[in-house]
Chain A
Amino acid sequence: MKILVAIKQVIDHHVAIQVKLDNTGVETNNVKMSINPFDEIALEAAIRLQESGIASEVIVVSIGEKPIQTTLRSALAMGADRALLIQTDVETQPLAVAKLLQAVVAQENPQLVLLGKQAIDDDSHQTGQMLAALLNWGQGTNASQIILKDDEVQVTREIDTGLEIISLSLPAVITTDLRLNNPRYIKLPNIMKAKKKPLTILAAEELDVDITPRLQTCKVELPLRRKTGIKVENINELITKLQTEAKVI
């Protein structure tokens, strides 16, 4: 069974995000980039399925500009077999990504597509769902456990009220949540080996899908800083302050 894992390169989650002075976006110049943490979990899940003999091949795919190759190389060092970069300078929005992934699925014929439940940069939480709809496949989102049996997959989903266990027939799309696994450290010799694994670059235009952005960014701003609170001495003072200053009662 082939598994396709879609990964996105995002600003590393330890970096304090800076908004550009002209409010057109966030600063990415020389900022450390990494694989989106949820995608890393998806990749770890795929590698474990391969290690347990269930999957035959793990392919990673990413969409965007050329420097993303570094992130794909790390994915190869973690354990993926080969990588695919769909190269485009166009801002990648969820629908466009889903369409491009649909085209990659048509070429590669995986039985399972794994993605992070969301990317930590735009937090859209849409791509997996859109891809499943475009492919007309079953979907298991926010997975905290994945069990494969024959041509079925059982997915435990993290939902507001607890855990939901669903069963999907293959092929299927699964998006991964935080508790699914703990991704491994990359070993130094594996980084070396990863340099020799295949990484194919494909121009997005070659896949012949419309990826024109549908959303327009008007302005990017830092959230307002929360005002520091005050301490009140007693309940009476609280009530007066709520009436006279906050004017809420």
Chain B
Amino acid sequence: MTEEAMTFDVVIVGAGIAGLSAAIKLKQLSSDISVCVIEKGSEVGAHILSGAIFEPRPLNELIPNWEQLNAPLHTLVRQEQVLLLTKNQSWNIPSWLLPPQLDNQGNYIISLGNLCRWLAEQAENLGVEIYPGFAATKVLFNEDGSVKGILTGDMGLDKNSQPKLDHELGLALYAKYTLFAEGCRGLLSEQLIQHFKLCQASEPPSYALGIKELWEVDPTQHQAGRVIHTFGWPLDGTTHGGAFIYHLEKNQVALGLIVGLDYKNPYLHPFKELQRFKMHPAIRTILEGGRRISYGARTLNRGGLQSIPELVFPGGVLLGCAAGFLNIAKLKGCHTAMKSGMLAAEAIIESLHPPFNNKLINYHHKIQTSWLYDELYQVRNSRPAYARWGILGKIVYEKILRGKEPFTLRHNKADHQYLKTKTHYKPIVYPKPDNKISFDLLSSVALSNTYHEEDQPVHLQLRDPTIPILINLVKYDAPEQRYCPAGVYEIVEENMIKNTTKNTNLRLQINAANCLHCKACEIKDPHQNITWTSPEGGGGPNYPNM
């Protein structure tokens, strides 16, 4: 059987802020161009999770009358605080000590999911075709080796990959240009980076895992526009990361913990770190009497400029966090993702005129001459400075050097190579959840509204099925049990008949239906043994206002 096909001028993979901004810009520049966006979430926004403090600069450029059009930017940042935490204490860091990147004047606290929902409306009004519920699972190539488009996944395969009664074949979407806007650690983006060897000149990428909760708090504790960033406790000195607490409108508070995935201690449990973070006296007062509305997790890029691969290949480009345009000093990637989408659209419109060139070289040039590049260049050494000299190095760097230094620091290793064996550490004892402020993992995952059809191929694949027990369990006490924010990986006893030899009756159970599509396992597995493939379209979390 061959799949059906449809042809567009431009196909965009991923209805995040990068993909939607590209779609809107394309239609603004040329109303008769055909643009199709496909999105694996069941609706636009369903898989979007961010902080988020949004810098509106590119939105002012793209849709200057956004206020009139009721864009969901309701809460200006009014009050900012940076706290250094120890177990029971907190210290306010005075603003004169803080790097300029942490100044959020004029920025908005938003739900990125809701901004994407609104952008999707604007795009549809311009004639963009958006199809949520379909995952792009394969890149299709022309005979000359250029990208021809993508294939959407089959629907209705059973767990042995056999067609069920309601089976539907995937659909091929062909385009002159295919834009990959899949966000951090994109499935097809990573394949393309390998295929076209786009990372030959760049440093290994580096990531962090962000785990987030949305709360509705007691009105007396709520101050719309209040922003708190913390560092220090609960993370130890060698683990990079920190937490955020953003007061949105309607008594909502978004909070989360960001943990650098180059952490070393295999016993670290990011989810439980977040739970105990909330128990800190300075934090729990905000949450007492409130109610948790949602939960979720997503990885983010923190490699900066050095880790950005080549962006252009024949037939397409990488956008947004799929390329790694995140300003880690600012902890912001929405405005850069948006800008990259707009620049790609401009490049396409210029290139569509004859002579047609399937390589969007001008995209590369546009990025390099835009504020996006300047911004990332300025903070290029922020993460490596942090890695080498700790938080002080980062502050000195961001405050004093501000990117003017004539050198660029390297990252050296990939995140998974930093994990040490369990013999270097003692297991961490985390407090039990009190079910008011802190919770267990499964009741948290329930709040992400995650759903996957049970009878489908397991979408998390192991290259070598023996590694989880023979290496990961023995050497690292199976860290996937802890870093996965959805409890997907569980070491279970094979059967109840007691076996005398140790470990042989243990196996790794993969509860794929819980997966939040955060991609942490692909990044952190010490032997890079886990591959995230796309489950049936529409599966995954259904985040409401994340």
Contact = CB atoms under 8 A, between A and B. Distances in A.
B166 A185 contact: yes
Contacts, number: 58
Interface string B106-135: 000001011001000000000001010110
Contacts of B171: 187-189
Interface in A64-82: none
Interface SS of A by simple majority: loop
A14 interface: yes
Contact of B542 (A14, A18, A185, A192): A14
A16 B46 contact: no
Contact of B293 (A18, A184, A187, A192): A18
Contacts of A21: 216, 251, 291
B131 A30 contact: no
A14 B113 contact: no
B450 to A, nearest CB: 8
A188 B134 contact: yes
Interface string A12-52: 10111010010000010111100000000000000000000
A82 B544 CA distance: 30
A16 to B, nearest CB: 5
B32 interface: no
Contacts of A29: 544-545
A32 B543 CA distance: 8
A15 B251 CA distance: 22
Interface in B151-177: 152, 155-156, 165-166, 168, 171
Interface SS of B by simple majority: mixed
A182 interface: yes
Given A29-B545, A182-B166, A16 B446 contact: yes
A32 B46 contact: yes
Given A14-B542, A21-B291, A182 B165 contact: yes
Contacts of B450: 14
Interface string A60-100: 00000000000000000000000000000000000000000
A55 interface: no
A188 B156 contact: no
Given A30-B544, A187-B171, A16 B447 contact: yes
Nearest to B167: A185
A201 interface: no
What are the 4 tightest A-B residue pairs by CB atom distance, in nearest-first order?
Answer: A14-B451, A185-B155, A15-B449, A32-B542
B61 interface: no
A194 B544 CA distance: 26
A103 interface: no
Contacts of A1: none
A191 interface: yes
A191 B114 CA distance: 23
